[in-house]
Chains A and B, each alone.
Chain A
Amino acid sequence: MNDASEGALLHVEGLEVAYGQVQAVRGVSLSVGHHEVVAVIGANGAGKTTLLRALVGLLPSRGRIVLGGRPVARPSPEDTVRLGISLVPERRQLFGSMSVSDNLLLGAYHRIGQEPRAAIDEDQHRVLALFPALRDRAASPARTLSGGMQQMVAIGRGLMARPRLLLLDEPLLGLAPLVIADMLRAFAQIQQLGQSILIVEQNAKAVLGLAARAYVLEDGRVVRHGRATTLAQDPALRAAYLGGHIEPAS
């Protein structure tokens, strides 16, 4: 085990994921430090979503995944939640007919019965403090919420598992500029509370402003990685990924 994997919260080495004959992720290595926000950017079909799904065991993969210094062998989605990784999936995937507060509570599913109810309730208050807009809608069915609020519920549901590492898959997709600004503020707050974030996002400009480091994925391979500020200046990347999004907040 090298230094990187010992110091990092998540260390991935040589991850391979295939759909039948099609290789979607090819030998990806990356790490996420404690209290760190790391971004993964790349074109459509580059393998970003596949990477996240493999990390939580939704897809079978080969390679080494080390979390908190301990190797995770053949993770199942239930195990990875227990180990402290929680995925906020692409396009939210809420339980539409259930209330906002039930959606949040389900995020803490594996904690129910293991921890005092008060601890779970306290986390729910914390989520509502992070997203105050949800307070008035706690009893509403999730599907009746606007897209922005649904995204807040999805992230809140992820946080309810008390993860050490939050995986966000395209959390800014289809959000209004004002909501994007709110969302970026919330991510910064989550980081301050001690959690790490690995974020996959098309809105590269927004996430490069937020993340400390970033990886660029192309055809399932990491083709570039480094400090976000450095990558944001890279002319090739600017042309490919930063074309003209309005930057909602600095």
Chain B
Amino acid sequence: MIPTRRARLAATIAVVVLAILPYAVAGRISLSIFVFIGLFSLIVIGLSLLAGHAGQVSLGQAAFYGLGAYIAAISTLRIGIPPWLALPLAVSGAAGVAYLLGAPIFVLRGHFLVLGTLGLNVVMDVLVRNVQSLTGGPTGLTGIPPLSIGSLMIAGDRAYYYLTWTFVFAALWLGRNLVSSRVGRALAAVRSSEVAAATVGINPAFYKSRVFAASAALAGLAGALYVHYLSFVSPSPFAFNFSIDLLVMSVLGGIYQLPGAVAGTAILTVLREALRTIMPRVLGSGASAEYEIVLFGVLLAVVIIFSPAGVWPPLIKVLRLESARPRWAQVAPVAGVLAKSSSSLARPEPTGLLRVEGLRKQFGGLLAVDDLSFHVQAGEIYGIIGPNGAGKTTAFNLISGVLRPTRGTVYLRGRKISDLPAYRRAALGVGRTFQTPNVFPDLTVLENVMVGLHRLTTTSFTGAMLGLGRREDTQAAAQAAGYLAAVGLLDHAGLPAGALPFGGLRLLELARALAMHPIVLLLDEPASGLTGAERAELVRLIRRIRDTGTTVLLVEHDVGLVMEVADRVLVLNYGRRIADGTPRVVRNDPRVIAAYLGEEAVS
């Protein structure tokens, strides 16, 4: 989204207010609360990137905060490293631990990160309390030197206030760049469907582990700043409870927008301070801690009920700061994206472009695909038909890598691909659509196709954070618009993909797959849900796709369509081949009529 002039103005005002705040409140309120809001904001920004944008919930951010704090404390106190060097050490230490912890977890799909990070809190706490020689145990360490650069000593509330908030704004800037980049789109794709992301060539584990490391780096940074600011460290601020507090701040503020992280942190931190002064007066001393938790619980419940996406979206609405139009709305589509011929026609393969040998897939007692062999020539349109449950979609899943075969091999251009993960097969040129369209609903229609261009664009994770991919993004947007024009969806480019009707989702998925420049394109029931006119358009489109040099495999129940476009047809029943050949041969095969077509269909 493009910020409006009003939004830029609001951001400028926020910066100015924060800049003069120390002078405005001087002598009345201690600045330290604002330093803490800044420190916690850093952690929560990381958490928003991780949980909101990549969809990975962590309960270990307090542990990374503590890790950063102890690395900074130990390296300056015990090893004598200068504080300015301890800071990057703390950041990279926290990031490194996160990366190592994440690597095995992220290979798995699902919410295993929560469990892994839950354990991390416990490990951190036990280590810090027991390795007393290093950490000082429960009492902690004191006398940690403040940050200094050369002879410039950074000490006192005001200095740390400015330093911390500079980092906060830097983090917001880096985070915003990341989110609106090629990498950000990949994260959104991974968040909504890892399977779909992998089939356009995105390695979910790669991005998840990097975001996790980035979030830990921010927490580590906050930890290091904390110890140099306060000059002492003890285990209690990094306990498990604080991980939950951070998550509450993040959800309260709005987990999908980075500035929401700052808002949520500010609300909770200010409220806690206020309660600490008010509660003892109302309820008598000593009562505050428990009631504080009750109140936070109620607050969170109220926010979740009335504004599930946190306080930030309604706040933006009230202040009328919403973006006027989605990004790339005005981009001019590249004409003739489908005219370019890919190399697959230039290099004919003697044994077939795609070769499947003895493929078998067993789900428990059910044999979904049984000893299936076939080969598809370059430039062919190859139809696969058969009754519901015959194994057609399973065959597609085995070819595209969504499933691993129980036995058997898939070769693409003579190269064995059946032992590769889905994202690698996509990178080698296997594109696909799904029977139930699997688009990324939170991204716009155009951005969905831009995700399809992921493999053909190059901006790295770090480059994206620094905002280096803008030019490439603009080109990608124009390309993507070209594919949308080819499938007839260009008018809807700026809509959230989730708002498209069923048939539109199919076409969008097709455009996304085409954007990958696939060598082989697997279409799973592309005509289902399309009306007559749309179907006729699809037939033209499939032929055009083939003419660009892409080989097409087509699973479809619209037998008329298959017979019309396919060069050869394979018929499956109970996971096995019962017939194959030209449409005419297959259509008149008595076994096919009995198992699938029915007598009436043959005219």
B502–A90 CB distance below 8 A: yes
A173–B529 CB distance below 8 A: yes
- How many angstroms between the C-alpha atoms of A43 and B503 in the bound complex? 9
Q: Which of A64-72, A139-147, A225-233 contacts B (4 or more CB under 8 A)?
A: A139-147
Total contacting residues, chain A, CB less than 8 A: 39
Distance in Å from the Cβ of B426 to the closest Cβ of chain A? 24
Among B389, B504, B601, point to the contact of A177 (Cβ < 8 A). Answer: B601
Distance in Å from the Cβ of B314 to the closest Cβ of chain A? 16
Distance in Å from the Cβ of A42 to the closest Cβ of chain B? 7
B210 CB–A CB distance under 8 Å: no
**A-facing mask of B262-289, CB < 8 A → 1, else 0?**
0000000000000000000000000000
B327 CB–A CB distance under 8 Å: no
Q: Which of A112-120, A124-132, A242-250 contacts B (4 or more CB under 8 A)?
A: A242-250
A176–B561 CB distance below 8 A: no
A246–B601 CB distance below 8 A: yes
Q: Which residue of A lies closest to B435 (CB)?
A: A174
Neighbouring B residues of A240 by C-beta, 8 Å: 531-533
Distance in Å from the Cβ of A3 to the closest Cβ of chain B? 33
Neighbouring B residues of A244 by C-beta, 8 Å: 532, 535-536, 560-561, 564
B351 CB–A CB distance under 8 Å: no
B503–A175 CB distance below 8 A: no
A145–B389 CB distance below 8 A: yes
B502–A177 CB distance below 8 A: no
Q: Which residue of B lies closest to A205 (CB)?
A: B532
Neighbouring A residues of B535 by C-beta, 8 Å: 243-245
The answer to whether A176 and B596 touch (CB under 8 A), given A144-B366, A146-B387, A146-B388, is: yes
- How many angstroms between the C-alpha atoms of A176 and B594 in the bound complex? 12
A177–B597 CB distance below 8 A: yes
Q: Which residue of A lies closest to B564 (CB)?
A: A244
Among A178, A241, A245, point to the contact of B387 (Cβ < 8 A). Answer: A178
Distance in Å from the Cβ of B366 to the closest Cβ of chain A? 7
Among B500, B557, B560, point to the contact of A174 (Cβ < 8 A). Answer: B557
B529–A147 CB distance below 8 A: no
Neighbouring A residues of B150 by C-beta, 8 Å: none
- How many angstroms between the C-alpha atoms of A146 and B391 in the bound complex? 10
Among A181, A202, A242, point to the contact of B600 (Cβ < 8 A). Answer: A181
- Interface hits, A169-186 → B, CB 8 Å: 170, 173-179, 181
The answer to whether A241 and B600 touch (CB under 8 A), given A147-B389, A179-B387, is: no
- How many angstroms between the C-alpha atoms of A8 and B584 in the bound complex? 48
B525 CB–A CB distance under 8 Å: yes
Distance in Å from the Cβ of A69 to the closest Cβ of chain B? 34
A74 CB–B CB distance under 8 Å: no
- How many angstroms between the C-alpha atoms of A196 and B225 in the bound complex? 71
- How many angstroms between the C-alpha atoms of A227 and B532 in the bound complex? 20
Q: Which residue of B lies closest to A181 (CB)?
A: B598
- How many angstroms between the C-alpha atoms of A249 and B599 in the bound complex? 9
Q: Which residue of B lies closest to A147 (CB)?
A: B388
Neighbouring A residues of B560 by C-beta, 8 Å: 244-246
A243–B596 CB distance below 8 A: no
B530 CB–A CB distance under 8 Å: yes
- How many angstroms between the C-alpha atoms of A119 and B596 in the bound complex? 36
B533–A43 CB distance below 8 A: yes
B528 CB–A CB distance under 8 Å: yes
B531–A176 CB distance below 8 A: no
Q: Which residue of A lies closest to B593 (CB)?
A: A178
- Interface hits, B563-599 → A, CB 8 Å: 564, 595-598
**A-facing mask of B487-515, CB < 8 A → 1, else 0?**
00000000000011111100000000000
Which residue numbers of B lie inside 8 Å of A, CB to CB? Answer: 366, 386-389, 435-436, 499-504, 525, 528-536, 557-561, 564, 595-598, 600-601
Across the A-B interface, the 8 shortest Cβ-Cβ residue pairs: A146-B389, A44-B503, A243-B532, A45-B501, A146-B388, A148-B388, A147-B388, A44-B501
Pairs across A and B, CB under 8 Å, 25 listed:
A42-B531, A43-B503, A43-B533, A44-B502, A44-B504, A44-B534, A45-B504, A49-B501, A146-B388, A146-B389, A148-B388, A173-B529, A175-B557, A177-B598, A178-B595, A178-B598, A179-B388, A202-B503, A202-B528, A239-B533, A241-B531, A243-B532, A246-B601, A247-B600, A249-B600
